[in-house]
Amino acid sequence: MFYYFILYKPFEVLSQFSRDGDKRTLQDYCKVPKDVYPVGRLDYDSEGLLFLTNDKAMNVALLHPSKAHARTYLVQVEGLITTAALQQLEAGVEIALDGIAYKTRPAKASLLKEEPALPERIPPIRFRKNSPTSWIELTLTEGKNRQVRRMTAKLGFPTLRLVRYQIGKIRMDGWNSGELRSYSKKEIESLLFTQS
């Protein structure tokens, strides 16, 4: 039997079930069948939507580079981000992956006029009165290691908070940090693979 779950992974939780020192893992938040695993990864210091399943065909369909599956992130960066930086994020940024130069695929980037309504991060981002920040929305069709952080840092706007806000049509509006939701195969196929 196949199972399909989406978890709002909290900050400082590993995207795995096995223990690694004293770090929190998915088993602290998920009671799922033993053969269910996350599809892709979300870094320890990132939050947001994480898809879990035991359906290997769906795993391949989501992760294969030819599928160019869209994922949207809400990103708080240090500094007042410029129009030029947003344009560069959209055009592609040259980052280093394992010491090799790599230009990211074209993306969609926009400045958010207001801070998004997200659950409070624990611990919260340290507030600095003399250090302004910006929130951007960034949609990627690839998921290289620490890609968003590498992209914003390269342009001089280090990432402070990173939240995967949307996968396909699933948005985390109204979700609580640590919340797990279950879906049928039909629901997941409609939400993840049907074009808007």
Q: Which tokens sit at 35?
A: 């053969």
In whole angstroms, what separates CA 191 from the centre of its chain? 17
In the set 43, 55, 98, 173, the catalytic residue is 43
- Please give the model's pTM, rounded to 2 decimal places: 0.93
Dihedral sign of CA atoms 182, 187, 192, 196 in order: negative
Cβ atoms within 10 Å, residue 156: 12
User: Taking Cα atoms as reference points, which of 69, 65, 67 lies closest to residue 51?
Assistant: 69
pLDDT tens per residue across all 196 residues of the chain = 999 999 999 999 999 999 989 999 999 999 999 999 999 889 999 999 999 999 998 887 777 666 667 899 999 999 999 999 999 999 999 999 989 999 999 999 999 999 999 998 888 877 676 789 999 999 998 888 899 999 999 999 999 999 999 998 999 999 999 999 999 999 998 998 765 5
Burial class for 69, CB neighbours closer than 10 Å (0-12, 13-18, 19+): buried
- Whether 28 sits among the annotated catalytic residues: the reply is no
